[in-house]
Structure 1
Amino acid sequence: MGETELEVTTLGLGCASLAGIFTGVPAEQARATVRHALDVGINYVDTAPQYGLGRSEHLVGDALREAPVRPILSSKVGRLLRPVDPARQDKGNWIDPLPFDQQYDYSYDGVMRSFEDSRQRLGLEKIDILYVHDIGAGTHGVEGNKPLWAQLAGGGYRALRELRDGGVVKAIGLGVNEWQVLMDAFALGDWDVFLLAGRYTLLEQTSLTPFMTTCIERKASVVVGGPFNSGILVGGDKFNYAKAPDEIVAKVRAIEAVCREFGVPLPAAALQFPLTHPAVCNVLPGPRSPEELDGILAWWDAKIPDELWTTLAAKGLLAEGTPIPGGTA
């Protein structure tokens, strides 16, 4: 990852789905999924206070405390959890969250408090990577983001640098769904790794330039979250957490037709595609069960001929300049 000493397996485990987004996940099933990921050799696990409003960190911590070898672990800052009467709780898309509401805080004190709270929920002394979570106009609106960005620029970034430079964490970055804010982050200083969800996938390469090219120049790595674009690339109907528009459905069908021509499952191509870019160090799907993880592993091991990528490029289904084996689109 970046210029740090962290080395991650190219497949990781994202733990948002385990916290029960859209559909519930039993606690023991969630723990079993984390344990299974470690058993098959995955060494990078990502969680966040937002996921299930604390639920994901509790479940992940339960599994990792029992692990004979601890994986590299990331969590996030920017949201503080406050107790709330469950009858008045804004649960969002979480089916069975813990009884907390979230308060956005990207300040120096907010970052430090979030980090300590995460260690308490995890029941672990160590978090390797801290991401600034969901800052940007896409989450907060243009005007709403301005005071929050001022918090990050005025103190939050300094807190992250202190934690990293003091050896308390090993890497810092941002975890977001929009690449544009990451270009603003480069102006604040140096970062090690960015977790970008949904913007560099088989379906969408909008982050290709200037973001991905700048990562190479600045020696920052990229973890690709949401490789299935909220499910549309594994047979679902959601794109960016909402029902996919017709033009997205049409593009998916065109990509799927090429995959079918080469006998490759669409999810396998979606899962393996991001690693064709030299800035990408890890792909981070979010299975809900050990069985779903086994399905992901089968897609991960599927053999994909180089001709599939060149055919997608020739049909205009990949953005111009996209790195593919043997060249670029």
Structure 2
Amino acid sequence: MDLTLTLSLSRYGFGGAPIGNLFTAVDDDAARAAVDAAYEAGIRLFDTAPHYGLGLAERRLGAALASRPRDSYVLSTKVGRLLVPSGGGGRDSAGRDSAGRDSAGRDSAGRDSAGRDDEGFDVPAGLRRVRDYSRDGVRRSLEESLERLGLDRIDVALIHDPDEHWERAVSEAYPALAELRDQGVVRAIGAGMNQWEMLARFVRETDPDVVMLAGRHTLLDQSGTRGLLPLCRERGVRVLAAGVFNSGLLATDEPSGTYDYAPAPGSLLARARAIAAVCGRHGVTLPQAALAFPLRHPAVASVVVGARSAAEVARNAALAARPVPEALWTDLTAEGLVSC
């Protein structure tokens, strides 16, 4: 199916994980302001998932979009994780210290000392995630997402992180989504992952409209650029490029912080600094180049960037609006810093 016939995707999309309290909490007003700023900046693709803050991101996103014309934006969410009552956290007490924390510093509900759950979200412990890629699980997930969102429909439904669940994802989750697409319940379907290999399998063996590729089509990692994107273009599958800052290393003018949610290895930090130096010679900042790079490939329909505040949205929008000279890409390729 040609996604361009059914959906109009803005070049940049809003990623909802940060307003689900990823790493640090944000309040309702800040989350609302971030969504409002994105809409006002012309962003019309909004992506979320039950996983993000145990449903918090969906609730906040739905509330912020409720006053907008429903046909004016595209809403994407995901299936594969159901939210169920935690029953007190479900962890045993073996190895816990006098404060009730285990060897990793987590309490009986799985929260670390900063209040984050074991997926990095600062949210209460009343719910837990259960992987479910069954047909019934997919339908239940979408029904519960609609309830949290408070909206009348979901446009794009993605199978979320089925890394260890290929068989059930392809034999149950995908057919369930395809049926809902045929019925007009959702307009486009696909999968979203942090790896490209299984996404390529989905593209070869099923009929997705779109895939979301996180972190594997960036200035620092072009494995998906080579391995997945040509296949998507051949099959008419549109790519949503996410994780383009690789969780932080490319997000600042001077590279620092994390790479794929872990401390950045020295070799990657050095490479990021070398890329930043070339960018500087062309009057371009590292995050500006990181936002522009994914859209150079014709298979990429949109770059999805998370934000937790209106200020972050405004900063990213300003960077995305600045032109990047073609000579920058020529020099980065010539110096072996990007491979395509």
Using the size of structure 2 for normalisation, the TM-score is: 0.88
Is it true that 1:24 corresponds to 2:25 in the alignment? yes
Is it true that 1:53 corresponds to 2:70 in the alignment? no
| Deviation of 1:114 (Å) | 0.6
Mapped partners of 2:24, 2:272: distance in 1: 24
SS in 2 for 1:207: helix
**Structure 1 partner of 2:301:** 281
Alignment: residue pair count:
310
SS in 2 for 1:12: strand
* Mapping 1:249-264, distance limit 5 Å: 249-264=269-284
| Deviation of 1:89 (Å) | 3.2
**Structure 2 partner of 1:168:** 185
Mapped partners of 1:68, 1:109: distance in 2: 31
2:149 counterpart letter in structure 1: L
Q: 1:96 aligns with which of 100, 105, 123?
A: 123
For structure 1, which runs of at least 5 residues remain unmatched after alignment? 137-144, 323-329
Q: Deviations over 1:39-95 (max 9, x none)?
A: 221111000000001100010011111224541000000000001256643322111
Is the Cα contact below 8 Å between 1:3 and 1:220 reproduced in 2?
Answer: no
Q: 1:119 aligns with which of 126, 146, 153?
A: 146
Is the Cα contact below 8 Å between 1:224 and 1:282 reproduced in 2?
Answer: yes
**Structure 2 partner of 1:2:** 3
Deviation larger for 65-74 or 117-126: 65-74
SS in 2 for 1:285: strand
Q: 2:169 aligns with which of 152, 171, 175?
A: 152
* Mapping 1:1-329, distance limit 5 Å: 2-69=3-70, 70-85=72-87, 88-90=108-110, 91-92=117-118, 93-97=120-124, 99-136=126-163, 145=164, 148-235=165-252, 236-319=256-339, 322=340
1:129 counterpart letter in structure 2: V
Structure having the higher Rg: 2
Distance 1:62 1:178, change over 3 A: same
Is the Cα contact below 8 Å between 1:35 and 1:67 reproduced in 2?
Answer: no
| Deviation of 1:29 (Å) | 0.5
| Deviation of 1:96 (Å) | 2.2
SS in 1 for 2:167: helix
Is the Cα contact below 8 Å between 2:203 and 2:232 reproduced in 1?
Answer: no
RMSD, matched Cα: 1.4
Is the Cα contact below 8 Å between 1:21 and 1:52 reproduced in 2?
Answer: yes
Distance 1:150 1:202, change over 3 A: same
Mapped partners of 1:86, 1:288: distance in 2: 29
| Deviation of 1:97 (Å) | 4.6
**Structure 2 partner of 1:325:** none
1:107 counterpart letter in structure 2: S
Mapped partners of 2:53, 2:226: distance in 1: 33
Is the Cα contact below 8 Å between 2:242 and 2:304 reproduced in 1?
Answer: yes
Q: Deviations over 1:14-41 (max 9, x none)?
A: 0101111111111111011111211221
Is the Cα contact below 8 Å between 1:86 and 1:99 reproduced in 2?
Answer: yes
2:266 counterpart letter in structure 1: D
**Structure 1 partner of 2:114:** none
Is the Cα contact below 8 Å between 1:4 and 1:170 reproduced in 2?
Answer: no
Using the size of structure 1 for normalisation, the TM-score is: 0.91
Q: Deviations over 1:296-323 (max 9, x none)?
A: 011111121110110000000111xx2x
1:113 counterpart letter in structure 2: R
| Deviation of 1:3 (Å) | 4.8
Mapped partners of 1:204, 1:293: distance in 2: 24
Deviation larger for 99-108 or 182-191: 182-191
Is the Cα contact below 8 Å between 2:17 and 2:53 reproduced in 1?
Answer: yes
Which structure shows the bigger proportion of residues in helix conformation? 1
For structure 2, which runs of at least 5 residues remain unmatched after alignment? 90-107, 111-116
After TM superposition, the runs of 4+ consecutive aligned structure 1 residues lying more than 4 A away are 85-88
